[in-house]
Chains A and B, each alone.
Chain A
Amino acid sequence: MDQAVFLFEILLPALMQGLIVTLQLIACSAPFGLALGIAVAVGRQYGHPVISWLCKTYVFLIKGTPLLLLLFILYFGLPSIGITFTAFVASVVGFILCNGAYNAEYIRGALISIKEGQMVAAQALGMTRWQAIRNVILPQALCRAIPGLSNEFIYLIKYSSLAYMITVIELSGAGKLVATKYFTYTESFAAVGIVYLVLVSITTIAVTILEKRVAVPGTARATPAAQL
């Protein structure tokens, strides 16, 4: 078959379909993953000892387990105790749990780095602890956590590919199907790779712009001068 025909009439349409699914997975997971991360980080740092322990354990368990295994548990395991998710939902739940755990770590690190004085000053003005957290500490922490959070977001883009392993036909799954049907392995996967590289690169650039926009004047981080 003609290369051009293959490319434009078979591979690209299939990949575009898969890309849409990938974007849907990401769109569904990212916001909740961020929210979960914030909740867990705040719960761990400022919550009741039991809540704090729960948050700590949750992160511990998720970080210690492969995401793929988590997906298997959610999709293949849960039905045996009565909870059945569709493949898409199972994937999203898994991604939220994973993304949330790593986000929580980054945010927690940022919370810790905020000086004690901020809380003290806020309370001196009459704010309750929770008001101080919401209006003074958290905004600053989220700002500082942007590099870490965006790093995690890029990981999310990449590990969304694992949804294929529980039968969701997202980008890499679409590529594999075309590859196995037409024996065009290298070409198909190279194309898939290019799409991911583009996604990741765009995100990286967008994040750099975001970081600059959001930076508080005078708080430039001292990064070692890279020669690149």
Chain B
Amino acid sequence: MNDNDIVLRVEDIHKSFGETEVLRGVSFDVRRGETKVFIGPSGTGKSTLLRCINQLTPPDHGRVWLDGEEVTNSGARINYFRQKIGMVFQNFFLFDHLTAVKNVELALLKVRGMGKAEAREKALTELRQVGLEDWADHYPAELSGGQAQRVSIARALAMDPDVILFDEPTSALDPELTREVLEVMKKLARNGMTMLVVTHEMGFACSVANEVLFMENGVVAEQGSPDLLLHDPRFTRMKDFIGRIDSRMDD
């Protein structure tokens, strides 16, 4: 495989909080256009892993490269890297004092230094992509959870990132609202966006992921393509885990 295709390289990430070691050496590569999905029991450090990638939580050990440039230990340049690494949070974290369109254009204005008209146009384009053009002038408090999350995806997209990290994007949403967000994410994946997704949505993982990584005890315990994992009898722990989720959902 051509090395130039590797957008993100993560090498041997360790992170402890106090006495507890949450990440014990996680490494993987992500190629352009790939969608990798992380699943696993809560508390196994999946969210922490994502935050270590864009240094919102600096790892204790390990390195991250974006397009060949090192992200870890980059000092003030981290702001530049964060523009190219998009992030979508479980609790959306939309800027409550701004309308939807202003949420999307704020970073364009303040970080990329775009002109007002250009930023506004781009923001509206992204909102259109997620289907929320008509809600541009509404405040976050006036949006449903699914709408808010879609705005937050638009906000991340507006920066034209090389990769987007999704941290349990639908976990805070009611089941009916989860679908609209997953549809947007599927569309992004189909259009070639490079994505890392932490989620419990197995349906999404199976239909869209190029690779599923099962994390347990701070390491990647099992990984493989969705087909492989579901059908190969070797991957027992992951299947157990999936089985448990599925049965919970049936209740």
A–B contact via C-beta, under 8 angstroms: no
Q: Which residues of B come within 8 Å of A, CB atoms?
A: none
